[in-house]
Amino acid sequence: MKNIHYGKCFILFLLLFGMVKNGDASNDITVAEGYIKASIPGSDITAAYMTISNTANKAITLQKITSTISDRIEIHEHSMTDGMMRMREVGEITIDANSEVVLQPSGLHLMIFSLKQQVTEKDVIPLTLYFSNETKINIQLPVYRY
Q: Which residues bind Cu ion (CB under 5 A)?
A: 76, 87, 111
Alpha-carbon span 124 to 117, nearest angstrom: 12
Alpha-carbon span 89 to 12, nearest angstrom: 45
Q: Which is nearer to Cu ion, 112 or 143 (CB)?
A: 112
Among 56, 131, 133, 61, CA closest to 98: 56
Q: Which is nearer to Cu ion, 74 or 123 (CB)?
A: 74
Alpha-carbon span 72 to 46, nearest angstrom: 11
State the minimum distance, in angstroms, from the CB of residue 56 to Cu ion.
28
State the minimum distance, in angstroms, from the CB of residue 88 to Cu ion.
8
State the minimum distance, in angstroms, from the CB of residue 87 to Cu ion.
4
Q: Which is nearer to Cu ion, 37 or 131 (CB)?
A: 37
